Amino acid sequence: MDNQLDDENGLCKQCRHPFNPHLIIAFDSDDLSKGGFIKCQVENCDCYTTLNFDLARKQKDY
Ligand SMILES: [Zn+2]
Ligand SMILES: [Zn+2]
């Protein structure tokens, strides 16, 4: 269970900026299974993380 992108203080694990202003963008908003990426909005920060939305697994847990 260590695939979280923010730590217990709400800070991004990559760049240590507050996770809250990070942008979450889908590669294809019509097909979230293609994944997307998270980008930090702080100026001059090049934090960039790809992610899988993993919708199929969520539905199984339901
Ligand atoms: Zn950052
Ligand atoms: Zn970050």
Mean pLDDT, residues 28-56: 88
User: Is the predicted pLDDT of residue 39 greater than 50, yes or no?
Assistant: yes
| Calpha distance 38→41 (Å, rounded) | 10
Would you state the pLDDT for residue 1?
A: 46
Ligand number with the minimum distance to the CA of 49: 2
Residue range 11-32: average pLDDT? 93
Kindly give the distance from the C-alpha atom of residue 42 to the centroid of ligand 1, in angstroms, as a whole number.
Answer: 5
Closest CA to 38 of 47, 54, 49: 49
- Report the pLDDT averaged over residues 49-61: 69
For the chain, the domains span: 1-62
- pTM score above 0.75: no
> What three-state secondary structure class fits 18?
strand
Q: Compute the distance from residue 47 Cα to the ligand 1 centre, in Å.
A: 5
Q: Is 12 exposed, middle or buried (0-12, 13-18, 19+ CB in 10 A)?
A: buried
Ligand 2 centroid from CA 38, angstroms:
8
